Amino acid sequence: MGSTFGARLRTALDTRGPLCAGIDPHSSLLAQWDLTDDVAGLERFSFTVVEALADRVAALKPQSAFFERFGSRGIAVLERTVADARSAGAVVIMDAKRGDIGSTVAAYADAYLDPTSPLFSDALTASPYLGFGSLEPLYTLAEKNNAGVFVLGLTSNPEGAQVQGAVGASGRTVAEEIIAAAAARNGDASPMGPIGVVVGGTVETPSFDLSRLNGAYLVPGIGAQGATAADVKRIFGSGARNVVPASSREILRSGPSAAGLRDAAARTVEELQGILD
């Protein structure tokens, strides 16, 4: 890939609109689509989403856990899902939330951020709560291969505040420290650096400045989880241009028809553009 992750993502958002569609084949959605809860159903579900959306949405975000639960055959479906989505022009964000230290993180980097891997994605979600620096192998390989990393920053789940809202010796919350570290890593990269941050779409408006990141914010929860385009504008203000709003169930429950998925995605993009532009 000749262009940086930030450049590819910026182009995708500007040309296709501000939306990352999730690929979350959990059992309830498979049932809703009248599919069997097995590898055959997983395959049909995932490939339908890719066929319907990969040539028109800015990004697709497969949730790795829903593929992993089927073992090696599920991973094989995930590999093809990623490859087909990227071939159709979508930026693929692997939602795996990996996090560890040392050689284990390096192995995760090889799995998701090395172009020779069948799971190679444009970006990977990761947990920095063993320390932001513990993910250094991810950052290094992402930068080398023009890929990206989205670290968890300020999530919507109620349990997250116990860690993310804790105040350190600097007087800043853990979430603020994570965002500051990501901003330092991005530096003055143009148009955006490779390190993004995950911020839930239903969080309270933070007291600190989000605009300094010089990277993308992945914002899940749009639609079925209660977050709206107005929430994105409330949280990010003038920095909303670098937001990647993510919607999964709100779009996926419009399947199994490709037309239904496309219509749902188009409506979501229209709503987001109407407020974020």
Mean pLDDT of 128-133: 96
User: Which of the four pLDDT bands, split at 50, 70 and 90, describes residue 2?
Assistant: low
Mean pLDDT lowest among 68-72, 218-222, 260-264: 218-222
pLDDT of residue 252: 97
pLDDT at residue 242 is higher than 90: yes
* Residue ranges of domains in the chain: 5-272
Cα–Cα dist 262/255, whole Å: 9
Of residues 199, 94, 124, the one with CA closest to residue 155 = 199
pLDDT at residue 141 is higher than 90: yes
Q: Are 184 and 137 contacting, i.e. CB atoms less than 8 angstroms apart? A: no
Residue range 84-95, pLDDT digits in tens: 999 999 999 999
Cα–Cα dist 224/253, whole Å: 10
What's the token pair of residue 93?
A: 């964000």
| Ramachandran bin of 98, using left for φ above 0, alpha for ψ from -120 to 50, beta for the remaining angles | beta
219 alpha-carbon distance from chain centroid:
8
| Largest CA-CA distance found in the chain, in angstroms, rounded | 53
Read off the DSSP letter of residue 134. G
pLDDT of residue 89: 97
The residues assigned a catalytic role are 97
Q: What is the CATH number of domain 5-272?
A: 3.20.20.70
Residue 96 in 3-state DSSP?
strand
pLDDT of residue 1: 61
